[in-house]
Amino acid sequence: MRSWSTLPLGERAILLTCPDASPLGSGNRTAAAAGRIAAANLPWVIETVPAYDSIAVYLDLKLLLGGIPLTESEAESMMERAADQLARLAESEREETAKPEREVTIPVVYGGESGPDLLSSAQRSGLTERQFIERHSSARYEVAMIGFTPGFPYLRGLPVELAQPRHDNPRLRVPAGSIGIAGGQTGIYPVASPGGWRLIGRTPMRLFRPESDEPFPIRPGDAVRFVPVESESEVAWLDSNRNSDSDSKHGDRKARQREPEGEPSLAVLRPGLQTTVQDLGRSEGWQAFGVSAGGAMDADSLRVANRLVGNEDGAAGLELTLSGGEYQVLQDTLIALTGADLGATVESEGRVGSESEAESLPLNRPVLLRQGSIVRFRGAASGCRAYLAAAGGIAVEPMLGSRSTDLRAGIGGVEGRALRTGDLLRLGKPSKAAEVLIGKLRKDASPEAAWHSVNEQASPGHSSPKPTVLRVLEGSGWHRFSEEARRAFFESEYKVGTESDRMGLRLSGAELTVSRKEEILSHGVCAGAIQVPASGQPILLAQGCQPTGGYPIIAHVAAADLGIVAQLRPGDVVSFEAVGLGEALSVYREKEERLSRLAAGIKLKWFS
């Protein structure tokens, strides 16, 4: 029987590791163990992400902590009991949960333009190209994990003589379908992306099909074989033949998509720096396939905005970054703005351009925008991201269980991208309570007014102290750092860099030295993890981060402070304060209770 150890990943996930797992050899059991945990249907388990020798289990803290007030020690004990239960499930060898192993065959064109590194790789291994191809294609591989990009399979089982070093300077663009080798593992790039693996071939077999009912043809735990073919056309024929049954059975989901009902409500005149459609993210088990959980960076601000217009918490809204852009209201629309103050103004149709006619648009309250009005954002007065919710929610087609835009994967939102000039946004049907409020505001508004609102503000606008202090827990790689590095981490200030984005905030400051430099196997990660690459400069993973990572994690930002992280902008300064697991759980619960009271107050005031 295997012995699984547990380690918290912040307070929102637990990492199970199996020391006797064979990282690059045969006998991978992590996918099976993850399956046993999933089969238990524990209500507080959101999803599992198996990796080489580990399983990251993501938790629903609301359900885990329950409705009974807990002390810090009681909350910590509950987490320990949850970790023990997960370890027992991973260790159990129940035959009834075992599934037959699937074998997936991948046709590959080796060498030439399809595999530009084949010749040099063969020479490095002391083989001819033909010998290299024969050994690579004759091996039977196992999918140890999927990560990096959606559908990217990390395959164990590479013959030792074929191992290759990564490129010193990664390519800026690796074509989709490229077969690569890095160290003792091989893999396939499902989508075009940067990458440093040695490329030995390519297949047009699609490993990421977001429009399909079966988006991922390769799963963790599958067996994989490569079959050499002579030409791209032959590979394309094999791929289409292989998937014809699935396509005829399920059809093309993209072809079945319908335009949302109703007329457009908002027209994008100028999209700003980066405006995307976001909801609360993907929580239906897609991280195990390399898809980011994503969703709004400042989820609490989006939740409040939705409540202010009578929506459910998870309705899709707009996330506006730094400069929010300019929009025309095509029909009367109930909206709310929360999060950062981006200097929103509104003016009536026909009076656009007159600075004296522009009126400031209030934050944190329901606002009825009249048809023809223009909403303009002058730029961030404070914070980084604002949220615009509209009654009924932004009506875009859900993709993999969410309307959130994933820019890296190119899915969700409006064609998987940020908004552009000319985009038209439709809304869903407002709730009955929202329709009642819209009627009241119309009745009270002046006929010439561009907007009308209630008089009360639901919550104070966003503000955070400068410099910002973030509460953190020890990370999974804490023990890998020298005592000097640990001390520097807490005693230093770090500046947010200009290359920061939804995937992560790049920080500059005191260099953090890893004392244990052995190779780290990638494992599941989540927003709030602070990774330290070879440069020694930390990267704070944000809501759009990849599901797995291989850098040592020195600390985790407490879940209660992730909204503060979302509002940091380039040039801001942060420092870190250590807290224990019990305290982090306590402050998270306090935050959730405040939001619940706020939601109840909003409903009582305007939607009852």
Of the candidates 194, 215, 201, 131, which has an alpha carbon nearest to the alpha carbon of residue 412?
Answer: 215
Residue 7, burial from CB neighbour count under 10 angstroms (0-12, 13-18, 19+): middle
* Cβ contacts of 46-50, under 8 Å, gap ≥ 24: 46/283, 47/283, 47/284, 47/285, 47/286, 47/287, 47/288, 48/288, 49/145, 49/147, 49/287, 49/288, 49/524, 49/547, 49/548, 50/145, 50/220, 50/221, 50/288
Q: What is the mean pLDDT of residues 535-547?
A: 94
**CATH of region 468-588:** 2.40.100.10
What is the tens place of the pLDDT at every residue in 411-464?
Answer: 999 999 999 999 999 999 999 999 999 999 999 988 888 999 998 888 754 456
pLDDT at 481 over 80: yes
Q: CA-to-CA distance for 543 and 298, rounded, in angstroms? A: 9
pLDDT at 96 over 50: no
Residue 455 CB contacts under 8 Å (≥ 6 apart), including other chains: none
Of the candidates 332, 381, 384, 377, which has an alpha carbon nearest to the alpha carbon of residue 358?
Answer: 377
- At residue 231, the 3 state secondary structure works out as coil
User: What's the pLDDT score for residue 440?
Assistant: 95
How many CB atoms neighbour CB 100 within 10 A?
Answer: 5
Q: CA-to-CA distance for 337 and 309, rounded, in angstroms? A: 10
Confidence of residue 380 (pLDDT cuts 50, 70, 90): confident
Asked which of 14-23, 57-66, 393-402, 570-579 is least confident by mean pLDDT, the reply is: 14-23
Answer yes or no: are the C-beta atoms of 569 and 496 closer than 8 Å: yes
User: What's the pLDDT score for residue 25?
Assistant: 43
Does the domain at 5-97 match CATH 3.40.50.300? Answer given as: no
User: What's the pLDDT score for residue 264?
Assistant: 95
Q: CA-to-CA distance for 300 and 240, rounded, in angstroms? A: 44
User: What's the pLDDT score for residue 584?
Assistant: 95
Confidence of residue 343 (pLDDT cuts 50, 70, 90): very high
Q: CA-to-CA distance for 242 and 205, rounded, in angstroms? A: 9
pLDDT at 337 over 80: yes
Helix axes 581-606, 299-308, angle to 10 degrees: 20
**Which residue type, as a one-letter code, is found at position 40?**
A
Mean pLDDT of the chain: 89
Q: CA-to-CA distance for 184 and 161, rounded, in angstroms? A: 9
User: What's the pLDDT score for residue 236?
Assistant: 53
User: What's the pLDDT score for residue 520?
Assistant: 76
Which DSSP string corresponds to 260-321?
PSS---EEEEE--SEEEEE-S---SS-GGGT------TTHHHHHHHHHHTT--TT--EEEEE
Q: CA-to-CA distance for 92 and 34, rounded, in angstroms? A: 11
Q: What is the mean pLDDT of residues 522-542?
A: 94
User: What's the pLDDT score for residue 234?
Assistant: 58
Between CA 522 and CA 529, with CA 524 as vertex, the angle to 5 degrees is 100
User: What's the pLDDT score for residue 534?
Assistant: 85
**Which residue type, as a one-letter code, is found at position 69?**
P
What does the radius of gyration of the chain's CA atoms come to, in whole angstroms? 26
Answer yes or no: are the C-beta atoms of 31 and 545 closer than 8 Å: no
User: What's the pLDDT score for residue 26?
Assistant: 38
User: What's the pLDDT score for residue 255?
Assistant: 39
Q: CA-to-CA distance for 24 and 235, rounded, in angstroms? A: 28
Break the chain into its structural domains and give their ranges. Answer: 5-97, 103-242, 266-453, 468-588
Confidence of residue 245 (pLDDT cuts 50, 70, 90): very low
Do the two domains 103-242 and 468-588 of this chain adopt the same fold?
yes
Backbone angles phi, psi at 116, to 5 degrees: -65, -20
| Inter-CA distances, 62 with 359, 381, 596, Å | 40, 34, 12
Of the candidates 155, 149, 284, 130, which has an alpha carbon nearest to the alpha carbon of residue 225?
Answer: 155
User: What's the pLDDT score for residue 252?
Assistant: 42
pTM: 0.90
User: What's the pLDDT score for residue 118?
Assistant: 98
- Looking at 3.30.465.10, 3.40.50.300, 2.40.100.10, 2.120.10.70, the CATH number of the domain 103-242 comes to 2.40.100.10
Q: CA-to-CA distance for 116 and 121, rounded, in angstroms? A: 10
Answer yes or no: are the C-beta atoms of 136 and 279 closer than 8 Å: no
**Which residue type, as a one-letter code, is found at position 99?**
K
Answer yes or no: are the C-beta atoms of 385 and 297 closer than 8 Å: yes
Residue listed under structure tokens 């052995």: 518
User: What's the pLDDT score for residue 100?
Assistant: 58
Confidence of residue 275 (pLDDT cuts 50, 70, 90): very high
